[in-house]
Amino acid sequence: MTGRFIGLFKPIARFLPEAKPPGRKVGFNEKLLWTALALVIYLVMAEVPLYGLQAGESGFEMSYLRVIFASNRGTLLELGIGPIVTAGLILQLLAGSGMIGIDMSNPEDRSLFTTASKFFSILLTGVQAFAYIIGGVYGALPGSVAIVIFIQLFFAGIIILLLDEMIQKGWGIGSGISLFIMAGVAQKIMWDSFALTPGLVDQKSYGAFPALFQTIGSGQPIFSILMNYIPFNATSGAAAHLIPAVDNAFIRPQNLPSLLGFFTTIAVFLVVMYVEGIRVELPVSHASYRGYRGRYPIKLLYVSNLPVIFASALFANIYFFSQIIWNNFNQLNTNVFLNLLGTYIWAGNQPQPTGGLVYYVLAPRSILDVALNPTRAVIFALIMVTFCVVFSLTWLEVGGLGPATVAKQLVDSGMHIPGYRRSARPIEAVLKRYIPAVTVLGGITVGLIAAVADFFGVFGTGMGVLLSVGIIYQYYQQLMQERVAEMYPAFRSLLGG
């Protein structure tokens, strides 16, 4: 029964758009060229506004969640890579729960899994584009304008999908998703650091450093804290409390970029770089070459940063659909059941979550927010860590990283652990002592880093910085491998080329 599901996509494969793999060897410089071309196309699409939208009809703010999904408000990349990541999330959960049967060591199953992922990505692109229109994200649109916007969003999503597939099939280096995430985070960090546009609540520039220079130039103190008597709870009539109204270069109001966020960004980069290097190394030797000995590394971030991507996809979809449901059915927050999903209030021209599930899956974005509502911060951190651990353990089997699969790969390559029989079973027993424990610990680590970094207003979000460091590290390794394989073709087979 379970095996039939993945088999349903076999006849569909021929009808799906596809980026053909290269029929020849693609050189290192040509791969760089195709990778750069894909990045340029992405950056151009991120700046092209949707035709037919009027001023003020630019979609959900979605704030920092957009950074993770390489999307840009009111442009062709309104959806970004969200549908692709969400499709992967759905299939991972189905495969991890055993609802669909799949053997990732089987080339045919892997091919069908890729086809299923592509099919769901296209389907979700259409669903999300349709939801944006009927959900009132762009306001009330005439029928013809709605159709034009839907077509733009749908085909832009397919182009992003094909760019990612083109890079992964050997035309470029790495993956399009990783490349686009890294570009989005880099843009966000530069914008938060140096943007000259006015801030939300004052005349200072949006960026942290221009605001600092304006503060110094005006002769104002950098660490000013104004103490004002503000009602602690105006609705309940509670007594007034002394609450600091902070506005200085290190902590700014309304979650504007600050120097605290900048220094936290640097600190998170350094912490993640250190964590990337933590590993357990198991001694291995080759059965046919007695003198050959090596080590099999089990990194602390064993499943990389995929759990953070999937957790982000889940939280973003909760935010997206809860806001659509609230906007259409519960604007007065009177429906008890819909309130469990999320309650909002209008802040300017955008609704802001005030309760329900959505309130606790969005991180407080400054140390002041954490101080005012520590319960929300703790609950968010627990939710983030829990889902990172769950997705880490699920990806062990879906991604072919489980002890049984790794043991089989080592035996098939002629490797064994000294002191144990040369078979998969004893190697699997040894790996079971380390891999599950390291996977859980790695999930906890990335969850805590992503959550705590957001509490300090890190530029590009904690998830974004975490992902970027991992992506940069992977690109460094891939670039070095490609370069070595280009210079020494005899090593290509050893490097997996």
Query: Could you read off the pLDDT of 161-190 as tens digits, one per residue?
Result: 999 999 988 898 888 888 898 888 888 899
Residues 325 and 425 both lie in one domain = yes
Do 142 and 250 lie in one domain? The reply is no
Q: Please report the pLDDT score of residue 24 as a whole number.
A: 84
- The least confident of 17-21, 191-195, 381-385, 414-418 is 414-418
Among 332, 353, 384, 305, smallest CA distance to 63 is for 353
Nearest to 386 by CA among 374, 396, 378, 376: 378
Asked, for residue 140, whether it belongs to a domain, the answer is yes
Indicate the range of 107-121, 211-225, 331-345 predicted with least confidence.
211-225
pLDDT in tens, 192-209: 898 887 765 556 778 888
Asked if residue 422 belongs to a domain, the reply is yes
pLDDT > 70: what percent of the chain? 83
What does the pLDDT read at residue 280? Answer: 85
Instruction: Name the residue among 150, 151, 183, 177 with its Cα closest to residue 162.
Output: 177
pLDDT of residue 61: 57
Residues 251, 262, single domain; the answer is no
Q: How much is the average pLDDT of 82-88?
A: 86
Residues 299 and 225 in one domain: no
Cα 484 to Cα 352: distance, rounded to the nearest angstrom: 51
**CB-based contact 335:329 (threshold 8 Å):** yes
Rounded Cα distance, 83 and 490, in Å = 40
Residue 407 is part of a domain; what is its CATH number? 1.10.3370.10
Between 445 and 397, whose confidence is greater?
445
Average pLDDT value for the chain: 80
What pLDDT is attached to residue 248? 65
Inside any domain, residue 364: yes
Last residue of a domain, one of 195, 219, 243: 195
Distance CA 6, CA 91 (A): 10
Of 230-234, 288-292, 395-399, 463-467, where does mean pLDDT reach its minimum?
230-234
Angle between helices 424-455 and 462-487 (to 10 degrees): 130
Question: Can you tell me the mean pLDDT for 401-417?
Answer: 80
pLDDT for residue 140 is more than 60:
yes
Taking the alpha carbons at both ends of the chain, their separation in whole angstroms is 37
Whole-angstrom Cα distance, residue 380 to residue 223?
29
Query: Do 247 and 281 fall within a single domain?
Result: no
Please enumerate in sequence order all residues whose Cβ is within 8 A of that of 434, keeping only pairs 6 or more positions apart, or say none: 280, 282, 298
Q: Is the pLDDT score of 33 beyond 70? A: yes
Instruction: Report the alpha-carbon distance of residue 334 to residue 329 in Å, rounded.
Output: 10
Percent helix, strand, coil in the chain (nearest 5)? 60, 10, 35
In a shared domain, residues 296 and 431 = yes
- 168 secondary structure, DSSP code: I
What pLDDT does residue 38 have?
A: 94
Residue 18 inside a domain? The answer is: yes
Q: How confident is the model at residue 237 (pLDDT cuts 50, 70, 90)?
A: very low
Could you report the per-residue pLDDT of 295-306, keeping only the tens digit for each? 888 888 888 777
- pLDDT for 231 equals 42
Q: What is the pLDDT of residue 291?
A: 56
Q: Is the pLDDT of residue 241 over 60?
A: no
Q: Which two tokens mark 249?
A: 């270069």
Alpha-carbon gap, residue 247 to 250, rounded angstroms: 8
Q: Please indicate whether residue 290 or residue 158 has the higher confidence score (pLDDT).
A: 158
Q: What is d(CA 173, CA 338) in angstroms, rounded to the nearest whole number?
A: 45
Structure confidence at residue 239 (pLDDT): 38
Closest CA to 40 of 171, 157, 180, 209: 180
Nearest to 212 by CA among 192, 228, 188, 226: 192
Q: Contact, 183 vs 167, CB < 8 A?
A: no
Residue percentage of the chain with pLDDT more than 90:
21
User: Given a cut of 50, is residue 274 above it in pLDDT?
Assistant: yes
The Cα–Cα gap between 200 and 378 comes to: 28
Residue 151, pLDDT > 90, answer yes
Residues 311 and 455 in one domain: yes
pLDDT at position 125 is 94
Name the domain boundary from 238, 255, 272.
Answer: 255
C-alpha distances (whole Å) from 310 to each of 185, 268, 306, 474 are: 17, 20, 6, 18
439 pLDDT higher than 80 = yes
When comparing pLDDT for 379 and 315, which is higher? 379
Q: Is residue 221 part of a domain?
A: yes
Q: What is the number of structural domains in the chain?
A: 3
pLDDT band at 2 (very low <50, low <70, confident <90, very high): very low
Q: Per the structure block, which two tokens stand in for 158?
A: 């397919």
Kindly state whether residue 363 falls inside one of the protein's structural domains: yes
Q: Is the pLDDT of residue 236 over 60?
A: no
Decide which of 147, 166, 195 is a domain's last residue. 195
Rg for the chain, CA atoms, rounded? 25
Question: How far apart (Å, rounded) are the C-alpha atoms in residues 28 and 170?
Answer: 11
Using pLDDT thresholds of 50, 70 and 90, give the confidence band for residue 385.
very high
Residue 166 and residue 42 share a domain: yes
Same domain, yes or no, for 268 and 251? no
Indicate if the pLDDT at residue 314 is higher than 80: yes
- Are residue 337 and residue 395 in the same domain, yes or no? yes
Residue located via tokens 């499709």: 87
Residue 297, burial from CB neighbour count under 10 angstroms (0-12, 13-18, 19+): exposed
pLDDT band at 143 (very low <50, low <70, confident <90, very high): confident
If phi > 0 it is left, if psi is from -120 to 50 it is alpha, else beta; for residue 299 that is: beta
Domain assignment of residue 2, given as a range: 1-195
What residues contact residue 261 under an 8 Å CB cut-off, 6+ apart?
192, 208, 456, 457, 458, 459
Judged against a pLDDT cut of 70, whether residue 54 lies above it is answered with no
Q: Are residues 363 and 461 in the same domain?
A: yes
Same domain, 360 and 487: yes
Mean local confidence (pLDDT), 129-149: 80
CA distances from 169 to 34, 69, 163 (A): 12, 21, 10
Tally of CB atoms within 10 A around 478: 16
Given a cut of 60, is residue 400 above it in pLDDT?
yes
In a domain, 201, yes or no: no
Asked if residue 203 is part of any domain, the answer here is no
Integer Cα distance of 118 and 115 in angstroms: 5
